[in-house]
Amino acid sequence: MAPDAATAAAPALSVKGLNKHFGERHAVRDVSFDVARGELLAIIGPNGAGKTTLLTMLAGIRTPETGSVAQAPGSTARIGWVPQQTAVYTKLTVAQNLRLFAKLEKVADVDETVKRMLDQTGLGERADDELGSLSGGNRQRVNIAVGLLADPPVLLLDEPSGALDPRQRARLWGFITALTERGTAVIFATHDIAEAERHADRVLVLADGEMLFDDTPGELKAVAGADDEHDLEQAFVSFLRTRGH
């Protein structure tokens, strides 16, 4: 049954007032935002800004002290989570990894799900290859495939292309963009500001756990007083400096 207009218009994810401390350090401070279906949202900020902590709360790995994370009405699928360090097994083949994690996710049809993910990721020809024999880019695609096994409406990525070369990075982002075109909301944390400028529909800027900005990359440049000759990284550094970070 097709969703009604109100459900279809609801955010894929709604985040309200998240807070998290580690000892005396306030790692995430009252962070709120919504993400639409098919939106690609980048979280950027200096080291220690709270990016990974925020993602792990969205994924349900860490529990916020206050606040809430809610998916669209009627959504029962778990949020997909792809950590920075690959969670797959190098001695198993691609298909064996997908089959193992599909069972852990308790998908209804393991064989069909594995076949779908091999087709979707373009890794069908590598199904019987051990993970340890694959390039970094292909391993990361398998890692993302694991995060997609339950067909989540929201996918979280922590530094998804950090260890990849330019060709691997381009292929990975082509894959991620295809996901958003099919309606998956994707939230990724990155230190690569140029990557956020190139791919993200919106950027969130975190510093010391506080959300300082939530809008398009172009608007961040405008707020920082940057012209077209300046890239987003220059604007980002200027923006943080004006706010004492």
Q: How far apart are CA 232 and CA 144, in angstroms?
A: 27
Amino acid identity of residue 212, one-letter, is: L
| Domain regions of the chain by residue span | 11-79+154-245, 84-151
Q: Which of 36-40, 224-228, 239-243 has the lowest mean pLDDT?
A: 224-228
Q: What is the pLDDT of residues 27-49, one digit of tens each?
A: 999 999 999 999 999 999 999 99
pLDDT at 140 over 60: yes
Collapsing DSSP to helix, strand or coil, 133 comes out as helix
| Residues whose CB falls within 8 Å of the CB of residue 121, separated by 6 or more in sequence, listed in order | 141, 142, 144, 145, 175
Q: Which of 147-151, 193-197, 225-229 has the lowest mean pLDDT?
A: 225-229
- What's the confidence (pLDDT) of residue 2? 47
pLDDT at 239 over 60: yes
pLDDT-derived band at 238, boundaries 50, 70, 90:
very high
- What is the pLDDT of the chain when averaged over all its residues? 89
CATH fold for the domain made of 11-79+154-245: Rossmann fold (3.40.50)
Q: Which of 42, 36, 122 is nearest to 72 (CA)?
A: 36
Q: What is the side-by-side order of every strand in the sheet holding 210-215?
A: 66-71, 13-22, 25-35, 210-215, 202-207, 40-44, 185-189, 154-158, 80-82
pLDDT-derived band at 1, boundaries 50, 70, 90:
very low
Report, as an integer, the average pLDDT of 224-245: 85
Q: Which of 1-10, 79-88, 164-173, 193-202 has the lowest mean pLDDT?
A: 1-10
How far, CA to CA in Å, does 1 sit from each of 5, 74, 75, 143?
12, 12, 13, 31
Percent above pLDDT 90 for the chain: 62
Q: Which of 83, 198, 184 is nearest to 140 (CA)?
A: 83
DSSP label at 173? H
Percent above pLDDT 70 for the chain: 95
Report, as an integer, the average pLDDT of 8-14: 85
- What's the confidence (pLDDT) of residue 38? 96
